[in-house]
Structure 1
């Protein structure tokens, strides 16, 4: 009988922890990528009042491809350092003005 009581108590404790973990909302970051012919603009939003805009050169020359690669690297590396992981991407139909992509990053909630 004691074993059954302890087993029930342990299961109840574990169940309570999993419910608590589900209640905590994860932090998200939305990155909007605007790629134009000669430049790139990233809009990074971490909350209602937390946004930043990064702009860097782009294009088909080796110099501009390197600049855009470094721009993407520094922005995405910063998100990974903050604990975010890429969750999903959304790509819009390219237009004459450029192409638009949205990246969704999620930071797992702390237990």
Structure 2
């Protein structure tokens, strides 16, 4: 088996795994009852799923222009998803949409 064939198989496996993680994130967003649970489902497996999809694309495409674009998408995904989740979580907390009895630690209680 050549390197290109092995990279194609590994890229295909990354694409399937990333698709499954993104599907799990979507199902979690629909099924979880609380805002904070939904944020967890929307950020953790979704970001890993997108990164696996991008790794699979990088292994399949292998051109410098494509790799540069894939790297930019990965960096922006890692930079924006956690910040957006933090802001949505704070807004939900401040608007009273979070059940505070379910929190283990409430760091914003005094603010």
Q: Higher strand proportion, which one?
A: 1
Q: Same fold, TM exceeding 0.5?
A: no
Q: TM-score scaled to structure 2, two decimals?
A: 0.30
Q: Structure 1-normalised TM-score?
A: 0.30
Pick the structure with greater CA Rg: 1
